[in-house]
Structure 1
Amino acid sequence: MQQLEWFHIAWLAFAVVLEILANIFLKWSDGFRRIWMGLLSLAAVLGAFSSLSQAVKGIELSVAYALWGGFGIAATVAAGWILFGQRLNKKGWAGLTPAAGWHDYD
Protein backbone atom coordinates (compact mmCIF):
# COMPACT_ATOMS: atom_id res chain seq x y z
CA MET A 1 0.00 0.00 0.00
CA GLN A 2 1.28 3.43 -0.90
CA GLN A 3 1.60 6.19 1.65
CA LEU A 4 -0.34 9.31 0.66
CA GLU A 5 1.42 12.53 1.59
CA TRP A 6 0.54 16.14 0.85
CA PHE A 7 3.26 16.40 -1.79
CA HIS A 8 1.67 13.61 -3.84
CA ILE A 9 -1.49 15.69 -4.00
CA ALA A 10 0.60 18.75 -4.88
CA TRP A 11 2.27 16.84 -7.73
CA LEU A 12 -1.15 15.78 -9.00
CA ALA A 13 -2.45 19.36 -8.85
CA PHE A 14 0.64 20.56 -10.71
CA ALA A 15 0.07 17.86 -13.35
CA VAL A 16 -3.50 19.11 -13.84
CA VAL A 17 -2.35 22.73 -14.20
CA LEU A 18 0.29 21.73 -16.74
CA GLU A 19 -2.24 19.71 -18.73
CA ILE A 20 -4.56 22.71 -18.91
CA LEU A 21 -1.69 24.97 -19.97
CA ALA A 22 -0.68 22.44 -22.63
CA ASN A 23 -4.18 22.56 -24.10
CA ILE A 24 -4.25 26.37 -24.06
CA PHE A 25 -0.82 26.59 -25.69
CA LEU A 26 -1.93 24.06 -28.29
CA LYS A 27 -4.91 26.23 -29.20
CA TRP A 28 -2.70 29.32 -29.35
CA SER A 29 -0.23 27.47 -31.60
CA ASP A 30 -2.83 27.54 -34.41
CA GLY A 31 -1.98 24.06 -35.63
CA PHE A 32 1.72 24.58 -34.85
CA ARG A 33 1.85 27.60 -37.17
CA ARG A 34 3.15 29.47 -34.12
CA ILE A 35 5.99 27.10 -33.37
CA TRP A 36 6.87 28.53 -29.94
CA MET A 37 3.34 28.01 -28.65
CA GLY A 38 3.44 24.47 -30.01
CA LEU A 39 6.76 23.81 -28.32
CA LEU A 40 5.42 25.22 -25.04
CA SER A 41 2.48 22.85 -25.40
CA LEU A 42 4.80 19.87 -25.82
CA ALA A 43 6.91 20.98 -22.85
CA ALA A 44 3.79 21.32 -20.70
CA VAL A 45 2.64 17.81 -21.68
CA LEU A 46 6.05 16.43 -20.76
CA GLY A 47 5.90 18.29 -17.45
CA ALA A 48 2.37 17.06 -16.79
CA PHE A 49 3.33 13.42 -17.28
CA SER A 50 6.49 13.90 -15.21
CA SER A 51 4.42 15.42 -12.40
CA LEU A 52 1.87 12.63 -12.66
CA SER A 53 4.68 10.09 -12.36
CA GLN A 54 5.64 11.68 -9.03
CA ALA A 55 2.03 11.75 -7.85
CA VAL A 56 1.54 8.01 -8.42
CA LYS A 57 4.30 7.27 -5.95
CA GLY A 58 1.69 7.92 -3.25
CA ILE A 59 -1.66 7.78 -5.06
CA GLU A 60 -3.06 4.70 -6.77
CA LEU A 61 -2.54 5.00 -10.52
CA SER A 62 -6.23 4.54 -11.35
CA VAL A 63 -7.28 7.22 -8.88
CA ALA A 64 -4.56 9.68 -9.91
CA TYR A 65 -5.28 9.23 -13.61
CA ALA A 66 -9.04 9.58 -13.13
CA LEU A 67 -8.60 12.78 -11.11
CA TRP A 68 -6.03 14.15 -13.55
CA GLY A 69 -8.27 13.45 -16.53
CA GLY A 70 -11.51 14.60 -14.90
CA PHE A 71 -10.17 17.88 -13.57
CA GLY A 72 -8.25 18.43 -16.80
CA ILE A 73 -11.36 17.96 -18.93
CA ALA A 74 -13.53 20.23 -16.78
CA ALA A 75 -10.89 22.95 -16.55
CA THR A 76 -10.11 22.79 -20.27
CA VAL A 77 -13.81 23.26 -21.04
CA ALA A 78 -13.83 26.26 -18.68
CA ALA A 79 -10.64 27.67 -20.25
CA GLY A 80 -12.12 27.27 -23.73
CA TRP A 81 -15.20 29.17 -22.61
CA ILE A 82 -13.32 31.95 -20.80
CA LEU A 83 -10.36 32.46 -23.15
CA PHE A 84 -11.79 31.54 -26.54
CA GLY A 85 -15.54 32.02 -26.17
CA GLN A 86 -16.18 28.36 -26.97
CA ARG A 87 -19.57 26.94 -26.05
CA LEU A 88 -20.54 23.29 -26.00
CA ASN A 89 -23.48 22.27 -28.17
CA LYS A 90 -25.69 19.27 -27.37
CA LYS A 91 -23.23 16.83 -28.94
CA GLY A 92 -20.41 18.35 -26.91
CA TRP A 93 -22.35 17.97 -23.67
CA ALA A 94 -23.33 14.42 -24.65
CA GLY A 95 -19.66 13.54 -25.08
CA LEU A 96 -18.47 15.41 -22.01
CA THR A 97 -21.02 13.99 -19.59
CA PRO A 98 -19.87 10.34 -19.60
CA ALA A 99 -16.21 11.35 -19.91
CA ALA A 100 -16.47 13.45 -16.76
CA GLY A 101 -18.48 10.80 -14.94
CA TRP A 102 -21.56 12.92 -14.31
CA HIS A 103 -24.66 10.81 -13.81
CA ASP A 104 -28.26 11.57 -12.94
CA TYR A 105 -29.54 8.70 -10.85
CA ASP A 106 -33.03 10.11 -10.30
Structure 2
Amino acid sequence: MMKYRFRGGGAGREAYERFAKWTPSKGFESKAGWTSASDDGGFLLLVVVDVATLLEFSAKFKDLNDELEITPVVELSERVQIALNAYAWSTLSPDFDSNPEDQLGGRDEALRPLD
Protein backbone atom coordinates (compact mmCIF):
# COMPACT_ATOMS: atom_id res chain seq x y z
CA MET A 1 0.00 0.00 0.00
CA MET A 2 1.40 3.37 -0.97
CA LYS A 3 0.28 6.55 0.74
CA TYR A 4 1.23 9.78 -0.99
CA ARG A 5 0.76 13.49 -0.34
CA PHE A 6 1.35 16.04 -3.08
CA ARG A 7 3.66 19.01 -2.74
CA GLY A 8 2.02 22.39 -2.99
CA GLY A 9 1.37 24.37 -6.13
CA GLY A 10 0.59 22.41 -9.26
CA ALA A 11 2.17 19.13 -8.12
CA GLY A 12 -1.17 17.32 -7.91
CA ARG A 13 -2.15 18.30 -11.43
CA GLU A 14 1.28 17.33 -12.77
CA ALA A 15 1.10 13.99 -10.97
CA TYR A 16 -2.30 13.20 -12.49
CA GLU A 17 -1.07 14.16 -15.97
CA ARG A 18 2.10 12.10 -15.55
CA PHE A 19 0.14 9.11 -14.21
CA ALA A 20 -2.27 9.27 -17.18
CA LYS A 21 0.70 8.93 -19.58
CA TRP A 22 2.58 6.36 -17.52
CA THR A 23 2.71 2.69 -18.56
CA PRO A 24 3.35 0.06 -15.86
CA SER A 25 6.54 -1.94 -16.19
CA LYS A 26 6.53 -5.73 -16.23
CA GLY A 27 5.87 -7.08 -12.75
CA PHE A 28 3.90 -4.03 -11.60
CA GLU A 29 0.12 -3.84 -11.15
CA SER A 30 -1.97 -1.05 -9.70
CA LYS A 31 -4.95 -2.91 -8.17
CA ALA A 32 -6.83 0.12 -6.81
CA GLY A 33 -6.42 3.76 -5.96
CA TRP A 34 -8.16 6.24 -3.73
CA THR A 35 -7.85 10.01 -3.60
CA SER A 36 -8.30 11.89 -0.35
CA ALA A 37 -11.37 14.13 -0.13
CA SER A 38 -9.06 17.13 0.23
CA ASP A 39 -7.43 16.13 -3.10
CA ASP A 40 -3.95 16.55 -1.66
CA GLY A 41 -2.93 12.92 -1.97
CA GLY A 42 -4.25 9.41 -1.70
CA PHE A 43 -3.54 5.70 -1.57
CA LEU A 44 -2.56 3.07 -4.13
CA LEU A 45 -2.86 -0.67 -3.69
CA LEU A 46 0.01 -2.12 -5.69
CA VAL A 47 1.22 -5.61 -6.56
CA VAL A 48 4.91 -5.84 -7.47
CA VAL A 49 7.25 -8.73 -8.14
CA ASP A 50 10.15 -7.18 -6.25
CA VAL A 51 11.32 -4.08 -4.42
CA ALA A 52 13.27 -2.80 -7.44
CA THR A 53 10.05 -2.61 -9.47
CA LEU A 54 8.40 -0.64 -6.67
CA LEU A 55 11.37 1.73 -6.43
CA GLU A 56 11.29 2.30 -10.18
CA PHE A 57 7.65 3.38 -9.95
CA SER A 58 8.01 5.57 -6.88
CA ALA A 59 11.08 7.33 -8.33
CA LYS A 60 8.99 8.53 -11.27
CA PHE A 61 6.58 10.40 -8.96
CA LYS A 62 8.59 11.12 -5.81
CA ASP A 63 9.54 14.65 -6.93
CA LEU A 64 5.84 15.61 -6.83
CA ASN A 65 5.20 14.39 -3.29
CA ASP A 66 5.98 15.71 0.16
CA GLU A 67 5.17 12.32 1.61
CA LEU A 68 5.53 8.86 0.11
CA GLU A 69 4.99 5.98 2.51
CA ILE A 70 5.06 2.34 1.44
CA THR A 71 3.61 -0.35 3.70
CA PRO A 72 3.59 -4.04 2.72
CA VAL A 73 0.11 -5.54 3.19
CA VAL A 74 -1.60 -8.90 2.71
CA GLU A 75 -5.27 -9.76 2.42
CA LEU A 76 -6.91 -10.35 5.78
CA SER A 77 -7.88 -13.95 4.96
CA GLU A 78 -4.24 -14.71 4.15
CA ARG A 79 -3.09 -13.05 7.38
CA VAL A 80 -5.59 -15.03 9.44
CA GLN A 81 -4.27 -18.31 8.02
CA ILE A 82 -0.67 -17.26 8.67
CA ALA A 83 -1.55 -16.37 12.27
CA LEU A 84 -3.41 -19.64 12.85
CA ASN A 85 -0.47 -21.64 11.47
CA ALA A 86 1.93 -19.72 13.73
CA TYR A 87 -0.29 -20.27 16.78
CA ALA A 88 -0.48 -24.00 16.02
CA TRP A 89 3.28 -24.21 15.54
CA SER A 90 4.01 -22.38 18.79
CA THR A 91 1.90 -24.80 20.82
CA LEU A 92 3.23 -27.96 19.12
CA SER A 93 6.91 -27.21 18.67
CA PRO A 94 9.05 -28.86 21.37
CA ASP A 95 11.64 -26.09 20.96
CA PHE A 96 9.18 -23.28 21.65
CA ASP A 97 8.97 -21.97 25.20
CA SER A 98 6.52 -19.15 25.83
CA ASN A 99 8.18 -18.13 29.11
CA PRO A 100 11.24 -15.94 28.42
CA GLU A 101 12.54 -16.48 31.97
CA ASP A 102 12.63 -20.23 31.39
CA GLN A 103 14.52 -19.68 28.12
CA LEU A 104 17.11 -17.59 29.96
CA GLY A 105 17.48 -20.06 32.81
CA GLY A 106 15.45 -18.06 35.32
CA ARG A 107 15.44 -14.41 36.36
CA ASP A 108 18.44 -14.59 38.69
CA GLU A 109 20.65 -16.25 36.12
CA ALA A 110 19.50 -13.87 33.36
CA LEU A 111 20.50 -10.87 35.50
CA ARG A 112 23.83 -12.34 36.60
CA PRO A 113 26.83 -10.27 35.34
CA LEU A 114 28.99 -11.86 32.67
CA ASP A 115 32.27 -13.34 33.89
What's the TM-score once normalised by structure 2's chain length? 0.32
The structure that is helix-richer by fraction is: 1
The structure that is strand-richer by fraction is: 2
| Bigger Rg, structure 1 or 2 | 2
What's the TM-score once normalised by structure 1's chain length? 0.34
